[in-house]
Structure 1
Amino acid sequence: MTTPILQFGTSRFLQAHADLFVSEAMEAGKALGPITVAQTSGDPARAGRIGALSAPEGFPVIIRGLEEGVPVERELRVRSVARSLSTARDWPEVTRIFVEEARVILSNTGDTGYALFEGDGIDGVPRSFPMKLLALLHARFRGGRMPLTILPCELVSRNGEVLRQVVVDLASRHTPNATFVSWLSERVIWANTLVDRIVSEPIEPAGAIAEPYAIWAIERHAGLTLPCEHPCIKVVDDLTPYERLKLHILNLGHTVLADRWLKGRRSEMECVKDIL
């Protein structure tokens, strides 16, 4: 089985967001196909999660909260992940999939996901995510394959543009090939995205509990390839209104509650209902 979607990161957020969307779209015949998930951290403590993500029976996501003012709780099974690998252990296979199968790349590598390491390079298994991405894109370019779409899901404003600049700068230093650098910056699609969904609790070894609300806003780009069609995925001309909605209404409300909790020296065991 080929996997046209290659995902970097095993976060609970992605499990209850992109992985769930693709799973539901596959059931409706509206997805590119299944996902290969690649762990980028190499954390041995997450070895159990890696195996559970691609179990044939899938993994659970429980949707819990208010939906149009009505309390809901339902359990869904996510079966979109066909393979789960580790870049530390399975780098040759990750490279093969990136070069031969992938059409869309997803990533959610955490708050420091774009950080670089001194002395890192494209030989062997690179340490940082941007250097890993550069090495894989270089392998795809050398293999004569078509460009692809990269959908970063890190909470960085203009994340596609930021990641592109980081990778292009690295390419200029580590792979000084003008044709390759041009291919990276002009033909690979680096989409700006904004994601949102509160994932409140993990389910071991894989799965999560999440709120009903979810959005994946993707800025329109010529040549853009989507992983699937889903009601929560919106292709928009400008992400700015969605960023303002998230920061000024959703996140601001969380910040105000946290401020009240800290100033009132409330117990960490209290919930929002107690604070209000």
Structure 2
Amino acid sequence: MKNIRELYRREQHPVRVLQIGEGNFLRAFVDYAIDAANEENGFDGNVAIVMPRARKNERFASQDNLYTVCLRGQKDGKPYKENRVIRCIDSVLGAYDDYDAFMKLAELDTLRFVVSNTTEAGIVYEDGDRFDDCPPKTFPAKLTKFLFARYRHFHGAADKGLVMLPVELIDHNGETLKRCVLQYAALWQLEDGFQSWLDEACIFASTLVDRIVAGYPKDQAAAYEAELGYTDCLLDQGEPFGLWVIGDPRVRDMLPISTDKLQVEFTEDIEKFKEQKVRILNGAHTSMVLGAYLAGFDYVGQCMKDKAVRTQLEQSVFGEIVPTVHLPEEKAKAFAAAVFERFENPFVNHALLSISLNSLSKWRARVLPTLKDSFEKNGRLPKWLTYSLAALLAFYHTTEQGDGCLIGHRGAGTYEIHDDADKLEQIAKWAGGPDAEYIHEIMSQTGWWGEDLTKIAGLEQAVAGHFARIAKIGAKAHIEELGAQE
């Protein structure tokens, strides 16, 4: 079988993007978006990748920097498959082995953007980094040296500033990155003009990204290659849905890469888009999975095919969650519809137990704010979000302890409950007492929820009622009877 480089050629475009990181997500998200924009929008830009830790790039070199993104999922109500050969990667360098070539990129007149994904722990400041390290250890220190080299080469020209677009999964990632860069500029006593240039000529935009990327399909690689007709050791698998929210409207005209392949939003209020994702996507997961598991289901796809659980999701998402999102209703509804298609993805088996990890903190972050907003707006407790807390308490209701977990029971089988050890210890103790005391103790833990949930009018009584019905008739029957209620 032929190698991918025998059948395809890299496209020739000016290097406009410096990408710090070579991982699966960046390749199936950012590089995919740029490749599609070159084709559909005339973006006319290539990417130079710098590997911040890895020292060699044999896999990329063996394929002339070509690779395939294979998207599998649900789109417009139908199974969706797309195989896109990414041809916009100009070069792949190691920050250590190719340090001089990396720094030389700072002199490129066409360079405009810096994209990074160095993990959640990547945007940090360490005062042990020195200016004469080649390169310094941390990503922000590397970036500071790179930006200073560009500032010097172009004599502080205002039109040679760069736009930083970090996609690391931390809040305010752009602001955090800029703060670290300024700390290094101060630590290394770089000239005042450089700090002014960072403020006036450069943009550090916070971003939010959303696409599930599975990476190299190890168990299915042979089948993929047979379908493609070539070998590709850099195959990258993901879902069709893609959303990139960039928290600075100034970038809109600079970066015309939004297409029907991957949507890009530019906004001054990125927090509203984060709220949308947390409440609708994550909140739907967290409010559904524990009760669904107790009802006998193991995977999200199974839940989507069941009439009762599907009714729960439709009523809770569109009736209870979407109205609390602080974005235009049509946007929130469109996002919710896309979430349903993602849950229906026939190519992914998303296990409910994997979603169940650390459900206490997840429920607090993903469901509680929505429940409170819905209650305040409508003057009544939302039935499904209220039920979801009862389902959580039922899922955690056990005195049996395992190795670093609790052991719950579903029918004749068992399952592991994973959460903070101190919380699990307390739960096991309370589970040995009366149900009312068990419910009251957990709901009144201010340190767990940020407040005493028993103080929310009617919530404790409603949760106790759901908990009792689950115990009496089972989770599946209770879901069915709730769905039939107005």
Common fold: TM-score over 0.5 = yes
Match of 1:244 among 256, 266, 275: 275
The alignment partner of 1:4 has SS state of strand
Match of 2:149 among 133, 139, 143: 139
In 2, Cα distance between equivalents of 1:133 and 1:96: 13
In 1, Cα distance between equivalents of 2:177 and 2:285: 27
| Structure possessing the higher relative contact order (Cα contacts under 8 Å, 6 or more residues apart) | 1
The alignment partner of 2:131 has SS state of coil
Give the equivalent residue in structure 2 for 1:108: 117
1:230 has 2:380 as partner? no
Match of 1:219 among 219, 243, 247: 247
1:185 has 2:199 as partner? yes
Amino acid at match of 1:8: I
In structure 2, do the counterparts of structure 1 residues 254 and 43 end up closer, same or farther at CA, with 3 Å as the change threshold?
farther
Amino acid at match of 1:245: Q
Q: Is the 8 A contact 2:55 2:96 kept in 1?
A: no
Q: Is the 8 A contact 1:171 1:181 kept in 2?
A: yes
In structure 2, do the counterparts of structure 1 residues 92 and 160 end up closer, same or farther at CA, with 3 Å as the change threshold?
same
In 2, Cα distance between equivalents of 1:176 and 1:35: 29
Match of 1:22 among 30, 34, 38: 34
In 1, Cα distance between equivalents of 2:97 and 2:202: 27
Q: Is the 8 A contact 2:125 2:180 kept in 1?
A: no
Percent identical across equivalent pairs?
Answer: 28
Unaligned stretches of 5+ residues in structure 1: 267-276
- Render the CA deviation track for 1:88-124: whole Å, top value 9, x for unaligned: 1111111111232421111111121113445211212
In 2, Cα distance between equivalents of 1:53 and 1:247: 38
Unaligned stretches of 5+ residues in structure 2: 1-12, 218-231, 290-351, 358-404, 409-413, 417-486
Amino acid at match of 2:281: L
1:205 to partner: Cα distance: 2.8
Match of 1:163 among 155, 171, 177: 177
Q: Is the 8 A contact 1:152 1:160 kept in 2?
A: yes
Larger Rg: 2
The alignment partner of 2:79 has SS state of strand
Give the equivalent residue in structure 2 for 1:272: none
Normalised TM-score (structure 1): 0.86
1:178 to partner: Cα distance: 1.6
In structure 2, do the counterparts of structure 1 residues 129 and 140 end up closer, same or farther at CA, with 3 Å as the change threshold?
same
Give the equivalent residue in structure 1 for 2:103: 95
The alignment partner of 2:15 has SS state of coil
The alignment partner of 2:97 has SS state of helix
1:193 to partner: Cα distance: 0.9
In 2, Cα distance between equivalents of 1:115 and 1:220: 22
CA RMSD after TM alignment:
2.3
1:154 has 2:168 as partner? yes
Match of 1:61 among 69, 75, 91: 69
- Render the CA deviation track for 1:33-81: whole Å, top value 9, x for unaligned: 111111001255xx334435753xx211111011122111221111111
Q: Is the 8 A contact 1:37 1:85 kept in 2?
A: yes
- Which range moved further: 198-207 or 79-88? 198-207
- Render the CA deviation track for 1:191-224: whole Å, top value 9, x for unaligned: 1111110012315632311111110111224466
Q: Which has the higher helix share?
A: 2
Q: Which has the higher strand share?
A: 1
In 2, Cα distance between equivalents of 1:115 and 1:52: 33
Amino acid at match of 1:164: K
Amino acid at match of 1:139: A
Amino acid at match of 1:154: E
Aligned positions, number: 262
Give the equivalent residue in structure 2 for 1:265: 415
Amino acid at match of 2:67: F
In 2, Cα distance between equivalents of 1:228 and 1:19: 14
Amino acid at match of 1:138: F
In structure 2, do the counterparts of structure 1 residues 199 and 159 end up closer, same or farther at CA, with 3 Å as the change threshold?
same
1:82 has 2:94 as partner? no
Amino acid at match of 1:265: Y
